[in-house]
Amino acid sequence: MTPFATLSNASSVSWDAIPQKTPENMCSSIAEAMANGARICSFFGLPSDNSISLNSGSKTIELVAVLAHDTEDALSVIRSMPFSGSFPSLTPDHPQAHLFERLIFEEHGLTPTGHPWLKPVRKTETNAPRNSPFFEVAGSEIHEVAVGPVHAGIIEPGHFRFQCTGEKVHHLEIALGYQHRGIEAALTGGPFPSGIKQIEALAGDTSVAHTTAYATNLEVLSGTEAPLQAQWVRAIALELERLANHTGDIGALANDVAFLPTSSACGRIRGDFLNLTALICGNRFGRSLVTPGGCRYDLEPERACRLRERLLVSLSEVEQAARWLWESSSSRARFERIGTLTPDDAARMGMVGPAVRACGLVRDVRFDHPAGWHRFAQIPVSVWPDGDVQARARVRWLEIRQSGEFLKEQLAAAPGGPLITPMPPLMPDTLAVTLVEGWRGEVCHVAITDHQGRLRTCKVTDPSFHNWTGLALAMRNQAISDFPICNKSFNLSYCGFDL
C-alpha cells in the first residue's frame, strides 16, 4: 500500500484523500520513493488552520510534497500532520530537496534538522540577499569575486560569489531574491482577476507556460476543461515561446565567443519568432493569450496559414545560422568540455529541461506526463550525452527542429470549435497539480483550495528553481572567464526563481 495519493498531470485530488503522516514518516516515505526513482516537483508548507496567509507566525504548519514518477506517467502527493518546530532534512541523502527545505525554513520557520547549509532563499530583511553568509574556501591563495546584483549588461539582478585561485573557480554560490515581488502571497485568497496578470509576468519569457499551468489548475479545480481549440492554441504558443528563447540563446552563446555571424542572425530571428506569437495575440510575449477557461485570441485558418509561411522562413534561417556555429571549430573549442555536469549530479539535483537532457537523461513533461494538447500530439525528447556547454547548445538546437516539425504538423490540425468556456466556482478542499514543459524545463503549479473554494496556496516552481544549483556545480574547476558561456548555456530565470 503506497503512502501517497496518486494522480496524473493536470488533475486533482480531494485534500482529505491525501494521506497525512507525521513529519518523520512523511520524510521517510519521500526518501523511499526517491530511492526508487521519484523526484521532487514541489515541496512546501502551508498554515494548517486553513487561513489564507503565506507567511505564518507561530501557527502550526502542514508540509505537502508532490513527486514525479517519470517512467510511470504518475504524480504522487503526501502531506504531514500540522506541527511546528523541526522535521528531518532530506537534503543529506537527496540534495535536490535543499532549496525546498530552505524555503520552508524561510517562509514558516520550521527547521529541517540535518540540513547542511541552512539559510534563507530570497529574504530581504537584512537589506539584500547578498548580506547572508557565504560558503568560504579557506587558504592564503584563495580570492573571492563578488558580482551583482546589478550586472554589466541588460540582465536581471542577482549576486554571484566565486571562490577562486587565480582563474580557477572552486566554488560558486548564487544569492537571489532581488526580483522577489510576492506573487504567491498575492494569489492567496483568490482566484482574483489580477492573478493571471501576475502569472503572465512571473517570468516574462515563459508567460505561455506559466499561464497554461495556472489556468489549467483553475480549470481542474472547477471541474471543467478548456475547449480543445484553446488547448491547441496553447500548445502552438508554447512551442513558439521555446523557439524564440532557444534561438536567442544560441545567438547569445555565439556572441560570448565573438562569433558574430550566428549571433547577429539569431538576434534577429529570435525577434521574428516573438513576432509570430504577436501574430496570434498582439503581444510578443504571449500576454493576454491564455486565460482561465481557454484563450482570448483564436488562431483562425487564415492566420495559421500566414503564421506557417513566416515560420518556414525563420526555421530555414535559424538552420543556416546554427550550421555556421557548429562548423566553426574555434567556437566548438570554446564550448566542448566546458561547464560539464555528470548525469549523476544532474539527476541528484533534480534538474529539469534542456540542462538535464544535455546530460543524456530523458526527462520532458510533454513526453513523460502529457496533458492538454500533448495527449494527442507528442514531441520526441531531444537528448545529447556530454553535459557540457556544447551539449546544452546542441539540445536547444535539436528542440528547435522538433518544435518546428511539431508546429508544421499541428498548424494544419486545428480542432475548431469554441475557444473559451465559462468558469464555475472552484471545488473546496481540493489540490490540483499541473506540469508544463516550458522552454527551460518543468513548470510546476500546485493549487489548493480552502473550505470555501478560495485558493489557500498557489505554489509555483519555475524550472530555474531546480537548475540554478546545476550552474553552480558546472562551474567547479572551470576558469572564471568561462562563466558567461556556462551561464548562457543554462540561461536561468531570476524572476521565475524569486517570484
Partner 1 sequence: MSTFDVLFHRIQTGCETIAYPDGPAPALPDRHGGALQLDSTRCMDTCHACMDICPTQAIRRTRENGIELDLGRCLFCGSCVEVCPTQAITPTNNHRMAVRKKDDLILGSGARSQLRLAEDLGSRLIALLGRSIRLRQVSAGGCNACEADVNVLGTIGWDLGRFGIQFVASPRHADGILITGPVSKAMELALRKTWDAIPEPKIAIAVGSCAISGGPFHANPETHAGADGIIPIDLYIPGCPPHPLTILDGLLRVLGKLKNSASEHAE
Could you tell me the smallest distance in angstroms from the CB atom of residue 201 to ligand SF4?
Answer: 3
Could you tell me the smallest distance in angstroms from the CB atom of residue 21 to partner 1?
Answer: 33
Cβ-based nearer residue to ligand SF4, 87 or 439 = 439
Could you tell me the smallest distance in angstroms from the CB atom of residue 247 to partner 1?
Answer: 12
The option from ligand SF4, partner 1, none interacting with 444 (CB < 5 to 8 A, set by class) reads none
Cβ-based nearer residue to ligand SF4, 201 or 427 = 201
Cβ-based nearer residue to ligand SF4, 178 or 373 = 178
Grid cell listed for 124: 530581504
C-alpha span between 381 and 375 (Å, rounded): 15
The option from ligand SF4, partner 1, none interacting with 140 (CB < 5 to 8 A, set by class) reads none
Which residue of the chain is nearest ligand SF4 when measured via CB? 201
Could you tell me the smallest distance in angstroms from the CB atom of residue 270 to ligand SF4?
Answer: 17
> Facing residues of 143 across strands?
164
Cβ-based nearer residue to partner 1, 267 or 343 = 267
Considering CB under 6 A, how many residues would be counted as binding ligand SF4?
Answer: 2
Cβ-based nearer residue to ligand SF4, 339 or 496 = 496
Could you tell me the smallest distance in angstroms from the CB atom of residue 195 to partner 1?
Answer: 9
The option from partner 1, ligand SF4, none interacting with 112 (CB < 5 to 8 A, set by class) reads none
The option from ligand SF4, partner 1, none interacting with 152 (CB < 5 to 8 A, set by class) reads partner 1
Grid cell listed for 104: 520552508
Q: Max alpha carbon distance in the chain (Å)?
A: 70
What are the backbone dihedrals phi and psi of residue 159, each rounded to the nearest 5 degrees, phi first? -120, 130
Kindly identify the residues of this chain, within the stretch 245-284, that bind ligand SF4 according to CB under 6 A.
none
What b-and-e string marks burial along 298-328, b requiring 16 or more CB atoms within 10 Å of the CB?
A: bbeeeebeebeeebeebbebbeebbebbbeb
Cβ-based nearer residue to ligand SF4, 19 or 204 = 204
Residue of 204, 267, 343, 453 interacting with ligand SF4 (CB under 6 A): 204
Kindly identify the residues of this chain, within the stretch 172-201, that bind ligand SF4 according to CB under 6 A.
201
Could you tell me the smallest distance in angstroms from the CB atom of residue 289 to ligand SF4?
Answer: 14
Cβ-based nearer residue to partner 1, 15 or 44 = 44
Binding positions for partner 1, rule: CB under 8 A: 122, 124, 127-129, 149-150, 152-157, 177-183, 185-186, 193-194, 196-198, 200-205, 207, 261, 264, 267-268, 270-271, 275, 278-285, 287-288, 296-297, 320, 323-324, 327-328, 493-495, 498
C-alpha span between 76 and 101 (Å, rounded): 19
Grid cell listed for 107: 517562509
Could you tell me the smallest distance in angstroms from the CB atom of residue 497 to partner 1?
Answer: 11
Please, are residues 427 and 223 in contact by the beta-carbon 8 Å criterion?
yes
Angle, vertex CA 342, rays to CA 341 and CA 348, nearest 5: 100
What are the backbone dihedrals phi and psi of residue 151, each rounded to the nearest 5 degrees, phi first? -100, 175
Spatial CB neighbours of 472, under 8 Å, sequence gap ≥ 6: 171, 172, 173, 174
Please, are residues 479 and 167 in contact by the beta-carbon 8 Å criterion?
yes
Cβ-based nearer residue to partner 1, 138 or 154 = 154
Could you tell me the smallest distance in angstroms from the CB atom of residue 253 to partner 1?
Answer: 15
Cβ-based nearer residue to ligand SF4, 200 or 249 = 200
Q: Is position 157 an interface residue for ligand SF4 (rule: CB under 6 A)?
A: no
Binding site for ligand SF4 (CB under 6 A): 201, 204
